[in-house]
Amino acid sequence: MSTGSVALMLVYEPPTSKRGPIPLARINNPDLALRVAESAIAEAEARASELAQADEFLGEAERAEAQRLRRVLAFLIPGVSAIDRLAPAVVQ
């Protein structure tokens, strides 16, 4: 059985949604894919922390999404840590 690979797409998103995103380039670079995955996880975790300060429930929902993203990317991209970097939320 062959294994799949993760490729990155560079797309242009026009101001209107009539045409949708326009693919510009496809990049097959495992090191770049790892850096992009880590960046996406870091942004999702930061968004969860920010939301948690405004609304605990929304923060927890976003944190769960960040954890899901991490698990999926860890499964698909070698080198992505499956361990959550955020400290668990404390409910008082």
**Whole-angstrom Cα distance, residue 82 to residue 89?**
18
Q: Is the dihedral of CA 66, 67, 71, 72 positive or negative?
A: negative
Q: How much of the chain, in percent, has pLDDT values that exceed 90?
A: 73
Task: Identify the residue with better confidence: 56 or 89.
Answer: 56
Please indicate whether residue 19 or residue 68 has the higher confidence score (pLDDT). Answer: 68
Q: What is the pLDDT of residues 43-63, one digit of tens each?
A: 999 999 999 999 999 999 999
Return the amino acid letter for 24: L
Average pLDDT over residues 26-39: 96
**pLDDT-wise least confident of 15-19, 33-37, 52-56:** 15-19
